[in-house]
Amino acid sequence: MRSTQKKVFVFVNFFLLFGNLNIEYLAQIKNSSIINLFCIQNFKEEMLKAKIDYNEEIATDTCDCYLEEFIKNNSHQKAINKCKLETKKKFNL
C-alpha cells in the first residue's frame, strides 16, 4: 500500500511541477511572439494615423486581447474587431 501511495504522490507532484513550468513557458512565448511584435507595431502606426499619443499599456492590453481572441476563434478579423471595441470602451478612446 505504501508503494502505491508513493507512486501517486510522485505522479501528482510531477504533474503540478510540469503544469507550472508549462504555464510560465507559454506566458513567455505570448510576450515575445512574432504575432505580438507585429501587433504592437501595427498598434503604434494606427495610433499615429489617428493622431493619438501612443500608450504602451493600451497597446499591450489590446494585443493580449487579440492573441486570446485569435486563439479562440481562429479569425484574424473577428479578433481585431472585438478587441478594437473592447479597447475603445475600456480606455475611453
CB 71 within 8 Å of CB 26: no
∠14-20-21 over CA atoms, to 5°?
90
pTM of the predicted structure, to 2 decimals: 0.64
Q: What is the pLDDT of residue 21?
A: 46
Q: What is the pLDDT of residues 34-77, one digit of tens each?
A: 888 899 999 999 889 989 899 999 999 999 999 889 888 878 89
CB 69 within 8 Å of CB 78: yes
* pLDDT score of 16 more than 50: no
Which comes out higher in pLDDT, residue 2 or 69?
A: 69
DSSP H helical ranges for the chain: 2-32, 34-49, 56-73, 76-91
Distance from C-alpha of 7 to C-alpha of 13, rounded to nearest angstrom: 10
